[in-house]
Amino acid sequence: DGQPWTVPPFEMTRASDRVFGRGTADMKGFIAAVLASVPHFVRSCKEVPIHLAFSYDEELGCRGVRGLLRELAAAPVKPLACIIGEPTSMQVAVAHKGKKAYRCCVKGLAGHSALTHLGVNAVDFAAELVTFLRRTQRDLRMHATLDHDFDPPYTTVHTGRLNGGIALNVIPDHAEVEFEIRNLPSDNADVIVQSITRYMDNELVTTMRETFAGSGIDWQQLVDYPALSDQPAANWLRELACAAAEREDVRTLAFGTEGGLFQSIGIPAVVCGPGSIEQGHKADEYVELDQLSKCLSFLGKLSMNLPATLPDNRS
């Protein structure tokens, strides 16, 4: 809603060398290519099976894949690897950042704005929290270990939403802050969360309760998925995918996928799919036909070269 689409968003429109429609780049183009490749998989995959896994609500924190992961984790035999078709312009991606996102609800005490000393201004304390988050981001940018394989090369802390108050002359008793942490694979996001929690408990809530004991800040986790790391155990998968993509260079991703979740239960993962994330979530989203053609070629070469056996350490 509200996006300036010039073509029907929920229909496929082909124009010149592009296919337009909601999700064509992220990531229905990959799904279409995979489904079109099924007859080839049936003919060519005689020793190593290929499984298709379709999940949902990836945008809301990779919710839909969790049940599948629980079943795979308990299975006597796990898949050898996972290839996720998020848009990478058909370049193999071996790592991406993790993400944690939260909603913080600040509860204060309402009153007349002429008597500010008798109330607890929830917007004021929410703003102080946002300022602390910004300082945390600055410290990470300036002092934390950098990984220049990523852009930006540091863990980020971002406030995406701040809301509160009902009228100028009323002390607001409620405010909400939504923020996220996108952490490098080498960084522990829980350490950052603990730092934010200490600040809220020791500085903000303590001060708020000096005026009103019922004040506080409630947390709600919105998103939580791990980073995907470039691990030695996935070297064979990297080589296989790069050969199928016909390019040796690999990349990292600033956005997240379900790859880290598969990796967390011992299934190596890489990301490779048609289109660019720059086209995703926008009006007139599209994927180029050349990218779809490259994806079909990638899937064909991949299935023809699947190894029948792997070393015990899968290295």
| CATH number (domain holding residue 43) | 3.40.630.10
Which pLDDT belongs to residue 175? 98
Number of domains comprising the chain = 2
Same domain, 107 and 48: no
Residue 14, helix vs strand vs coil: strand
Sequence-ordered list of residues with C-beta below 8 angstroms from that of 49, at least 6 positions apart, any chain: none
For residue 205, the domain's CATH number is 3.30.70.360
Which pLDDT belongs to residue 310? 58
Residue 263: CB atoms within 10 Å: 22
Same domain, 107 and 17: no
What the block records as the tokens of 188 is 């522990």
Nearest to 31 by CA among 5, 54, 10: 54
What the block records as the tokens of 179 is 């923020």
Long-range CB contacts for residues 32-37, cutoff 8 Å, separation at least 24: 32/292, 33/85, 33/274, 33/292, 33/295, 33/296, 33/299, 34/85, 34/299, 36/296, 37/296, 37/299, 37/300, 37/303
Residue 291, helix vs strand vs coil: helix
- The domain containing residue 69 runs over which residues? 13-95+228-304
Same domain, 114 and 82: no
**What are φ and ψ of residue 289, in 5° steps?**
-60, -35
Percentages (nearest 5) of helix, strand, coil residues in the chain: 40, 20, 40
Nearest to 164 by CA among 209, 213, 119: 119
Q: Which of 207, 225, 243 is the last residue of a domain?
A: 225
Which pLDDT belongs to residue 62? 75
Chunked in runs of 10, what are the mean pLDDT values of the chain (315 residues)? 92 94 93 95 86 86 85 91 94 95 97 94 97 97 92 95 96 97 95 97 97 96 93 87 93 90 93 92 94 96 77 48
Same domain, 88 and 237: yes
Same domain, 254 and 138: no
Which pLDDT belongs to residue 315? 42
CA distance 7 to 13: 7
Same domain, 118 and 202: yes
What the block records as the tokens of 155 is 């863990």
Q: Could you tell me where the beta strands, DSSP code E, fall in 111-190?
A: 111-112, 156-164, 170-171, 174-183
Entry pTM: 0.85
226 preceded by a cis bond (ω within 30 of 0): no
Same domain, 256 and 274: yes
